Amino acid sequence: MTYFIFTLGCQMNIFDSERIDAVLKSCGLKPVPEDQADLIVVNACSVRQSAVDRIYGKLRNWQGKKIIITGCILPHDKKKLAKKVNLIFDIKNLPKLPQFLSQIYSKNHHDIERDSISLPPLPITRYSLLRNKLKNKNEVFVPIMVGCDNFCTYCAVPYTRGREISRPEREIIAEVKALVKQGAKRIILLGQNVNNYGGNQRLVASDQRKSPFVTLLKKLSKLPGDFKISFLTSNPWNFPDELIELIAKEPKLSKEIHLPLQSGDDEVLKRMNRHYTTKEYLQLINDLQFRIHDLRLSTDIIVGFPGETKKAFENTVKLCKMAKFDKAYVAMYSPRPGTAAAKLYEDDVPYEEKKRRWQILNKMINKN
């Protein structure tokens, strides 16, 4: 039997697709191009409506194939998609995938063919289970936590990935050590807010408490070998001074930092439930640029969020000019069912205006 994995979304989904690939190969299945596959596995993303729309667009081309879906899926999207596919399962239950496949391909699968199956979640200690051999030694993902406790009003992740759970430090260190022995050159630590690793501790620059994330980075940096460490994603309200100092001084830590802005207007940030002001964000940027030599800074920005007036957007443009980002991932706001923003705010910025604002920022920041 043959398969094709269709991946949407962030680096965590890319990593999960590697794990899915390893499970399917262990079952004796063969990866092939999309049009030749008997089985399609969709690693979905409900964070943006455009990603969900791509799934519906593909379904027309997959008639006659078995289709299963996993990944970040909101209940609203799961309910609609369950009518069109053979199976939807929680990525936490990936080790159960062989059992699911056996049920789908058995003669008596009629009762489950159109159902969404969810089993009790596996312990987080098995999150990196079944990693395949390294495909790309120059860039290897290592999740250090899953879920998110931030509940930004626009974001689906807390509803699709659940609350924050950190992996044990010893397990992460052992995995990185093994990957370096296999020749990994760049380790990318993954989490929705890696600075929260080890507990929901919002540490401001002046906070003297020890950050579990900084402690983890120090231990990883001491491992022997020729490799670099980077991480995704940080949030501006939880970037302690000791982390800045460590990045500045430790050769193994990458000087590339991704720090989501989302908006350069304080009122919009409040509506987004982002825990910082534009003044605080700029102060952090100034500290990073002053103390870290060869810093490369990237960010995320949402345009057209409910209530983003022309003046609010101009504030975002102004802040971006001051921050001098090297790269920005600019997205047009789309309401996600079940999120606070979808419930509380009218999607009042027309699509054409969102597109115009996207083009302005993309052209200004992503010149190359």
At 27, which CATH number? 3.40.50.12160
In a shared domain, residues 72 and 176: no
Element (H, E) at 6: strand 2-7
Listed range (11-25, 108-122, 347-361) with the worst mean pLDDT: 108-122
Last residue of a domain, one of 117, 147, 169: 117
Whether residues 191 and 219 fall in one domain: yes
DSSP, collapsed to helix, strand or coil, labels residue 220 as helix
Could you tell me the CATH number of the domain that includes residue 141?
Answer: 3.80.30.20
Q: Are residues 219 and 358 in the same domain?
A: yes
Cα–Cα distance for residue pair 7/353, rounded to 1 Å: 29
Q: Which among 84, 117, 150 is the end of a domain? A: 117
Measured distance CA(22)–CA(37) in Å, rounded: 16
236/278 Cα distance (integer angstroms): 10
Report pLDDT digits (tens) over 136-175.
889 999 999 988 999 999 999 998 888 898 999 999 999 9
The strand pair at 116-117 and 87-89 is best described as parallel
CA distance 233 to 203: 16
Per the CB < 8 A criterion, the answer to whether 185 and 226 are in contact is: yes
Split into its structural domains, the chain has a count of 2
Same domain, 231 and 268: yes
Q: Assess whether 111 and 132 both reside in one domain.
A: no
**Does one domain contain both 345 and 200?**
yes
Q: Which domain holds residue 153?
A: 124-365
Same domain? 42 vs 177: no
pLDDT surpasses 70 at 130: no
> How wide is the angle at C-alpha 220 spanned by C-alphas 214 and 222, nearest 5°?
110
Query: How far apart are the C-alpha atoms of 24 and 5, rounded to whole Å?
Result: 10
Q: Are residues 234 and 185 in the same domain?
A: yes
The residue behind tokens 């994995």 is 5
Same domain assignment for residues 81 and 213: no
Segment 194-202 shows an average pLDDT of 76
Q: Rounded to 5 degrees, what are φ and ψ at 315?
A: -65, -40
Tell me, yes or no, whether 168 and 230 share the same domain.
yes
pLDDT at 122 over 90: no
When mean pLDDT is compared across 23-27, 247-251, 318-322, 341-345, the lowest value belongs to 23-27
